[in-house]
Amino acid sequence: MKAGVVVFPGSNCDSDVYSVLKELGADVKYIWHGEDKIDVDLLVLPGGFSYGDYLRCGAIARFSKILEGIYDYVENGGYVIGICNGFQILTELKLLPGALLKNMDLKFICSDCILEVSNDNTFFSRLYKKGERVNFPIAHGEGNYYADDETLKELERNNQIVFRYVNNPNGSRNDIAGIINKKGNVLGMMPHPERRASSLLGGTDGIRLFKGMIESFK
C-alpha cells in the first residue's frame, strides 16, 4: 500500500503516523501541503494545529493546494483518514458532515479515552469487533462533534458512526468519536490511534486500525 502523510504548517502528529505505517511495511511518504498531486492509495491528514488554527480549526488548511484534487481522489475510490485536526479539515471540506466545536468545558483535554467500536465492517475498522472497547488518547480543544438532528439520524441509519466515546469527554452529540462517509472510504476521528500503536506508548489498541488498512491491499 502506498500512503501519504500530508504535512501542514503546524502539523505535529505527522511523524507519528508515518512511523507506524513505515514499521508495518507500508510504502509511505510525506506530502508537503503545497504539492498538487495525490498519487497514493491512502491519504492521511494528521493531527496538529494546521496554520495555527487561525479562524477555526482546519478552515485555512482546507484551501491547501494538495487538497484541491481531493474530491476527485475520493470519488475515484481513494482512501482518506483524518485524525484530530485532520477530522476538522475533512468537515471543513464537507467530505464528512457536521462540525467540531469547542469542548463543552471550553478546556483543552489531553488524556486516555475509552471508545466503543460501533461499526467493524469498514476498510478502517475491519480488525476490531463491534462492541469492543479500546483506548485511544485524545488531545484537543475543539473535538465536540455537532450535527443537526436530521444529519444524526442519517449517520445512525447508514451505520456511518465507527467509534463512540464511552465516557463522553467533550460533549459530542450521540457520543460520536469517529465517522465515515457514505461511500466508506473517508474516516474522520478525534482520538489518536497512532498514540496506541506500541507497548512503549502505553498500549497497542490502535495498531490494528493501521494493520487493517495495509492488509486490505495485500
Residues known to be catalytic = 84, 192, 194
CA distance 126 to 164: 16
CA distance 213 to 64: 25
All three cell numbers of 97, joined, read 458532515
Cβ atoms of residues 39 and 16 within 8 Å: no
All three cell numbers of 34, joined, read 503545497
**Strands 176-180 and 133-135, how do they pair?**
unpaired
Longest dimension (CA), the chain: 44
CB contact burial 14-34 (16+ within 10 A = b; e otherwise): bebbbebbeebebebeebebe
CA distance 158 to 164: 15
Nearest to 117 by CA among 103, 101, 135: 135
